[in-house]
Amino acid sequence: MTSLKEVAIGSTAKVELITGSDPTSERLLEMGITPGVLVTVIGAAPLGCPLELEVRGYRLSIRRSDAARVTVFPSVGLRSTWAGDTSVRRPLPR
């Protein structure tokens, strides 16, 4: 079991489950992070938190502590879902 928190920057993972039923979990679901969807970790803020995600074709920012409640299947590879872009997107060297 991996959580979204552990997914490497630039990787895409498939969501398995959102744990918890408080407003934060509810908001994550409403924002489209539902079981089965692909989420790409685009990057992180300079201080390591929050994360920048791409889901259902748009960008979203969540904190690492909240990403921990998103259980994902192991990485499915470096792929962006953004606007049908099938090219591999490598993060800029940091």
Query: Given the rule CB under 8 A, which residues bind other proteins?
Result: 18, 21-32, 34-35, 37, 42-43, 45-50, 52, 56-63, 65-66, 82-87, 89, 91-92, 94
Residue 2 CB, shortest distance to other proteins, in Å, is 19
- Residue placing its CB nearer to other proteins in the complex, 58 or 74: 58
Question: Between the CA of residue 73 and those of 13, 22, 36, 70, 89, what are the distances in Å?
Answer: 6, 23, 9, 10, 20
Residue 1 CB, shortest distance to other proteins, in Å, is 17
- Residue placing its CB nearer to other proteins in the complex, 13 or 54: 54
Residue 3 CB, shortest distance to other proteins, in Å, is 16
Residues in CB range of 13: below 8 A, 6 or more apart: 2, 4, 7, 38, 39, 41, 72, 73, 74, 75, 76
